[in-house]
A and B are shown apart, each in its own frame.
Chain A
């Protein structure tokens, strides 16, 4: 158990819809990272937050947005969903030199 909690574990929705993925970091971690893993691919970095502030941005689409709340949990919002957005979305936390602890992921299927 990494200590990082992601909900929901599975989500099925239709094209054009909007979904919200939620992440609670490990106790004491201020950083939250979001990654996208498409089928049989590596993990693509989307965005990082540190103590409520956006710290780094990767290849995140404009249709996607994220935020980190005062209690340090984070949400990733995906809108105007397309078939190609189907993927496993990971949240990770960790403040020690890149050592990240990953949640179990949220599997999104867009039909």
Chain B
């Protein structure tokens, strides 16, 4: 079975500082996509960032960037200059396509940004 592990159930960071959320996954697939989704207290699921596994370059979206290590099956999310609005649950989610054509979510990391 495809598994996703987010080893940090909860984290906190001071406003304006940097925090890294970890994610590892297990797959024998070679081509796939990786996503980080954010779920604030409103419960809305919001796409944060996307990475194609065939790309060596790490994806970046403003203050959000990833460290993708394909061989290690690791996909961490770095949030720079943390803001109070970043307080949320963060979910790592691989997508393998084909018969596994759905996002597989980790259990999430609860991030609190403190003023």
Contacts and interface: CB of A to CB of B under 8 A. Distances in A.
Contacts of A33: 102-103
A55 B52 CA distance: 22
Contacts of A102: 44-46
Contact of B102 (A56, A88, A99): A56
B103 A45 contact: yes
Contacts of B30: none
A98 B103 CA distance: 6
Nearest to B98: A56
* Consensus secondary structure, chain B interface: strand
B97 A42 contact: no
B33 A98 contact: yes
B35 interface: yes
Most buried by A among B35, B52, B97, B103: B103
B105 interface: yes
A42 B35 contact: no
Given A97-B97, A98-B95, A45 B104 contact: yes
30 contacts: A33-B102, A33-B103, A41-B107, A42-B91, A42-B105, A42-B106, A42-B107, A43-B45, A43-B103, A43-B105, A44-B105, A55-B101, A56-B102, A88-B43, A92-B45, A97-B33, A97-B52, A97-B95, A98-B35, A98-B93, A98-B95, A98-B97, A98-B103, A99-B33, A99-B35, A99-B50, A102-B45, A102-B46, A104-B44, A105-B43
Interface of B: 32-33, 35, 43-47, 50, 52, 91, 93, 95, 97, 99-108
